[in-house]
Amino acid sequence: MAFRLDRRHFLGLAGASASVAALAACGGPDTSGSSASSAVADIDFKDVKPAASIDFWSSHPGKSEDIEKQLVAKFEAANPGIKVNLVTAGANYEEIAQKFQTAQAANSGLPGVVLLSDVWWFRYYINGNIIPMDSAIKQLGIKLSDYRDSLVQDYQYANKQWAMPYARSTPLFYYNKDHFKAAGLPDRAPATWSEFGDWAPKIKAASGAQYAYMYPALADYAGWTLQNNLWGWGSGWSKGWDITCDSDDAVAAMQWIQDSVYKDKWAGVSSKDSSADFGGGIASATISSTGSLVGVLKTAKFNVGVGFLPGGPKATKPVCPTGGAGLGIPSGISKEQQLAAAMFIKFVGQPENAAAFSGATGYMPVNKSADMTAVLAKTPQIQTAIDQLAVTKVQDNARVFLPGADQEMAKAVSKIVTQQADVKSTMGDLKKTLQGIYDKDVKPKLKA
């Protein structure tokens, strides 16, 4: 295709995005509405006094409610004129998206700070529902250079900063050290999926676990974690704006996954949370977010190992995507609320607070200067997540920029691994769906 877009050089989208009908099918908030251009201008916060109270909407990712309460209390102590109300706005990113969409439609009840996931915040940018933070960043002296480059750049589009990193993660390979030892295997993550395929029967036989490996729940961001497999096989959901999910390599990757469930019978598919299944001993290994790390370590009654994601037959690295959520500020609230929100976002992003949040959850420390000494002394496994960040890869456009694509990917994978559907035809159907979303809802709004 002649159109090109990457995470550093977004050319801009104008006007509405996905149709209501297309998004109704996937259960997400629609992206019809006002143009992003209405929110592009910098906001002048000169002589603005921060509001006395704002709401912070969160789903408490990585079981972070307790640490979020601590950060709120710490902020209020440092800023006695501002109260932050921590609101449980949903159980996950999707529920927050629905609540935010409802508040937008009613033009009332908007928060000061809203948690924005990697696949939802872009829609708010398109609609002009969030503000560019550049003027607040300048006025408050927020040091973008101290944020980890790849994380802060994820929110830079049209030469503006639309959110700040918060609960940022990569997938990790989790394994039961005791089960691996019983199978006579080395104490490490497999270098490739082929290597794990050789290990899996031994693990299952020696461990007594129901499965050697548990695939993440399909509703739990299958499109995110399975980029690892697709990349390892030399493909992806897309390359640039070319939809490649039906390529021979992509079909081979998904066929291997299906065979591990039905033919070889050493893998299962989680119904809810693969990290919980792993922590409960149902499976000997899984891939899950770094944000699950601390929770797994607390619940597991065995020695937990973590490692980089395995490669595939064609690529061994980088095969790990970044992910997670940032913090943004709605455009439909007062300047006073927006300034107070920016102050809170700056506060939680300070090195000591970022380190505390990381230590409590396992999410990445978003600052370069965050002192992780105490955290790593308590939870040394977090170092693996930090190290893997150096070999991560930008997510496929099809997952993060096509409205509703993540749910369509999950539907297709569900057919393959829970209904044993024909892989080639299923991936072909998915391509048609993704191509339709691109052609109708994205391509017309790209500049040539």
Note whether residue 260 is domain-resident.
yes
Distance CA 415, CA 127 (A): 33
Asked if residue 175 and residue 164 are part of one domain, the reply reads no
Report if residue 29 sits inside a domain. no
Question: What value does the mean pLDDT take over residues 354-358?
Answer: 95
Question: Residue 96: inside a domain, yes or no?
Answer: yes
* 85 and 109 together in one domain: yes
Q: Do 295 and 328 reside in the same domain of the chain?
A: no
Give a yes or no: residue 255 inside a domain.
Answer: yes
Confidence of residue 42 (pLDDT cuts 50, 70, 90): confident
Instruction: Give exposure, 12-41, as e/b (b: 16+ Cβ within 10 Å).
Output: bbeebbbbeebbeebebbbbebeebeebbe
Bond from prior residue into 318 cis (ω within 30 degrees of 0): yes
Helix, strand or coil, per DSSP, at residue 393? strand
Same domain, residue pair 177 and 68:
no
Residue 9: the pLDDT is 37
Range of the domain at 57: 34-168+324-370
Who wins on pLDDT, 282 or 107? 282
Tell me whether residue 5 is in a domain.
no
In this prediction, residue 14 carries a pLDDT of 33
Residues 6 or more apart in contact with residue 72 via CB below 8 angstroms: 56, 84, 86
Q: How would you classify the pairing of strands 164-169 and 242-243?
A: unpaired
Q: Which residues contact 119 (CB under 8 A, 6 or more apart)?
A: 93, 399, 400, 405, 406
Let me know whether 333 and 311 are in one domain.
no
Contact between residue 435 and residue 243 where contact means Cβ atoms under 8 Å apart = yes
Q: Do both 143 and 273 map to the same domain?
A: no
Tell me, yes or no, whether 93 and 192 share the same domain.
no
SS3 of residue 22 by DSSP? helix
Compute the chain's Rg from CA coordinates. Answer: 22
Q: How far apart are CA 381 and CA 376, in angstroms?
A: 7
Q: What is the β-pairing status of strands 156-157 and 238-239?
A: unpaired
What pLDDT does 22 receive?
A: 32
* 390 assigned to some structural domain: no
Q: Are residues 277 and 404 in the same domain?
A: yes
Higher pLDDT, 394 or 282: 282
Instruction: Determine the Cα–Cα distance for residues 105 and 410; give it in Å rounded to an integer.
Output: 28
19 — pLDDT class (breaks 50, 70, 90): very low
CATH number at residue 189: 3.40.190.10
Confidence check: pLDDT of 40 > 90: no
Stated length of the chain: 448
- Triad 414, 419, 424: Cα angle to 5°: 75
Q: Note whether residue 56 is domain-resident.
A: yes
Which pLDDT does position 124 carry in this prediction? 87
Query: Where are the extended beta strands (E) located within 255-373?
Result: 267-269, 285-289, 304-307, 320-321, 323-328
Torsion angles phi and psi, residue 92, rounded to 5: -155, 180
Range scoring the smallest mean pLDDT among 34-48, 184-198, 223-237, 238-252:
34-48
Q: Contact 166/21 with Cβ under 8 angstroms?
A: no
Q: According to the per-residue pLDDT averaged within each range, which of 22-26, 327-331, 400-404 is highest? A: 327-331
Residues 289-318 have a mean pLDDT of 95
What per-residue confidence (pLDDT) applies to 50? 97
**H helix or E strand, kind and range, residue 165:** strand 164-169
* More confident site: 201 or 94: 201
Return the DSSP state at 77: H
pTM: 0.83
Structure tokens at 395: 């997510």
Sort strands 238-239 and 285-289 into parallel, antiparallel or unpaired.
unpaired
- DSSP class of residue 439? I
Instruction: Indicate whether 45 and 122 sit together in one domain.
Output: yes
251 shares its domain with 204:
yes
Considering the domain boundaries, does residue 204 fall inside one?
Answer: yes
Q: Are 188 and 151 contained in the same domain?
A: no
Burial of 370 (0-12, 13-18, 19+ CB in 10 A): buried
CA distance 125 to 95: 18
Q: What is the mean pLDDT of residues 389-405?
A: 89
68 with 126, same domain? yes
Q: What is the pLDDT of residues 122-141, one digit of tens each?
A: 778 878 899 999 999 999 99
Per-residue pLDDT tens for 217-264? 887 678 999 999 999 999 999 999 999 999 999 999 999 999 999 999
Structure tokens at 405: 């694509």
User: So what's the pLDDT on residue 447?
Assistant: 53
Picking from 272, 317, 360, the residue whose alpha carbon sits closest to that of residue 60 is: 360
Into how many domains does the chain fold?
2
Give the C-alpha distances (Å, rounded to integers) separating 359 from 58, 64, 370, 388.
18, 10, 11, 17
Average pLDDT over the chain, rounded to an integer: 89
